[in-house]
């Protein structure tokens, strides 16, 4: 083996709640995990101000602070946390090969994928402005809906997730206006009907966002237009929710792992195992349903335990054959 190739027992890709939790468990199980953080150290939560639903923080905590604490906890057990982006993998053999920044090659006994997913946004300048300010734009109703109790909000989207999020918001907010680009939902009939039958949800078909309006700090209204008539009008709102889907960060694995039609990695039910022995998945990279920090952390724990058991079984087989 060349000097440039490093051998590791457990390589973790990604530094969100899933990756750091996997690192804590793997380090405490003596697996000497190496974790690559990627371009977003701390993951998606570093883009949010308040996290109020992660157990153990009765007063809430900011996303960046929480992620620094998770990192410190992993480092306390000597997890090796590194900068770097995984650019290529080869899972065709018994030893799994991973390349960092197209340069460094690592051979791994186990790999835990915790690369998360990215929420899709419309891309409007005003949307991005208030998203970055933390001033009323969100891609997660379950995470942020609570901050808009008894207020009026707008949600964009037409699929099952959008309907589910609109319905969730309707239980907290005074009024929810749902913008649907076409003249019908993409969602299943049952989900569309549930939204249509909810008193405080108003659905505007053939309607798109023109601009998110605010006072420079927070959202105050959304200007929309009818894409058939071009007529514009403003809807008063303090929250603007975007529910047009997520993109899992899994492109580099597609030649080796089973993915669903959106690109989510398919895990064996009730486990963190993928279709490749020794390769495990945790967090949003495999989860299009819950997409929460606590579920990501929970599956990070599962991935480390599954990896530890896989290694133990492999070592036992080697010992048994050596004894024959
Ligand atoms: C604005 C916002 C607010 C939210 N608020 C809440 C909340 O209040 N409560 C809650 O429970 N959830 C919240 N969520 C959801 C929560 O952030 C996610 O469910 C959670 O972060 C998923 O964790 P993860 O570890 O799977 O991945 P992520 O947090 O997405 O982390 C992915 C990691 O993988 C790395 N990565 C990706 N590709 C590579 C690669 N090729 N090589 C190396 N590294 C790579 C990235 O750099 C990143 O570190 C929020 C999400 C957003 C966007």
pTM of the model: 0.89
Q: Which atom of ligand 1 is nearest to the CA of 45?
A: 17
Q: Is 143 designated active site?
A: yes
Name the percent of the chain lying above pLDDT 90.
92
Burial class (CB in 10 A: 0-12, 13-18, 19+), 322: exposed
List beta partners, residue 71.
none
Distance set, CA 166 to CA 138, 188, 196, 225, 240 (Å):
13, 14, 10, 20, 11
291 neighbors 140 (Cβ within 8 angstroms): yes
Atom 30 of ligand 1 has which residue's CA nearest to it?
116
**Is the shortest distance between the CB of 177 and ligand 1 below 6 Å?**
no
Q: Which atom of ligand 1 is nearest to the CA of 292?
A: 19
Q: At what angle do helices 63-76 and 17-28 cross, to 10 degrees?
A: 20
- Of the residues 143, 163, 173, 284, only one is catalytic, namely 143
- pLDDT of 3 > 80? The answer is no
Give residue 198's pLDDT.
97
Atom 37 of ligand 1 has which residue's CA nearest to it?
115
Q: What is the pLDDT of residues 93-132, one digit of tens each?
A: 989 999 999 999 999 999 999 999 999 999 999 999 999 9
Q: What is the pLDDT of residues 47-99, one digit of tens each?
A: 887 899 999 999 999 999 999 999 999 999 999 999 999 999 999 998 999 99
299 neighbors 20 (Cβ within 8 angstroms): no
The token duo for 287 is: 């989860």
**Is the shortest distance between the CB of 51 and ligand 1 below 6 Å?**
yes
- pLDDT of 189 > 70? The answer is yes
Give residue 217's pLDDT.
96
Give residue 24's pLDDT.
98
Q: What is the pLDDT of residues 215-270, one digit of tens each?
A: 999 999 999 999 999 999 999 999 999 999 999 999 999 999 999 999 999 999 99
- pLDDT of 203 > 90? The answer is yes
């Amino acid at each position: 083996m060349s000097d440039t190739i490093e051998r590791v027992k457990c390589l973790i890709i990604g530094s969100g709640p899933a990756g750091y939790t996997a690192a804590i468990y793997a380090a405490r199980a003596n697996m000497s995990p190496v974790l690559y953080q990627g371009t977003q150290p701390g993951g998606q939560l570093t883009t949010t101000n308040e996290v109020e639903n992660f157990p153990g923080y009765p007063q809430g905590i900011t996303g960046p602070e929480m992620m620094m604490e998770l990192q410190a906890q992993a480092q306390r057990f000597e997890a090796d946390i590194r900068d770097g982006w995984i650019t290529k993998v080869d899972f065709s053999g018994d030893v799994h090969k991973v390349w960092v920044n197209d340069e460094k090659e690592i051979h791994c006994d186990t790999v835990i994928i915790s690369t998360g997913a990215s929420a899709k946004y419309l891309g409007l300048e005003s949307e991005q402005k208030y998203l970055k300010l933390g001033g009323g734009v969100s891609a997660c109703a379950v995470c942020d809906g609570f901050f808009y109790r008894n207020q009026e909000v707008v949600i964009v989207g037409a699929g099952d997730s959008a309907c589910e999020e609109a319905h969730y918001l309707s239980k907290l907010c005074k009024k929810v206006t749902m913008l649907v680009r076409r003249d019908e939902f993409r969602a299943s009939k049952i989900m569309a009907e549930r939204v249509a039958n909810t008193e405080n949800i108003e659905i505007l078909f053939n309607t798109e966002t023109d601009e998110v309006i605010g006072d420079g700090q927070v959202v105050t209204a959304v200007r929309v237009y009818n894409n058939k008539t071009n007529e514009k009008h403003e809807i008063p709102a303090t929250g603007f929710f975007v529910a047009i889907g997520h993109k899992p960060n899994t492109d580099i694995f597609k030649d080796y792992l089973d993915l669903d039609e959106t690109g989510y990695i398919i895990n064996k039910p009730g486990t963190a195992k993928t279709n490749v022995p020794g390769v495990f998945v945790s967090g949003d990279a495999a989860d299009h349903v819950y997409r929460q920090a606590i579920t990501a952390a929970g599956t990070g724990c599962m991935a480390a335990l599954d990896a530890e058991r896989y290694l133990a079984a492999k070592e036992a087989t080697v010992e048994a054959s050596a004894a024959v």
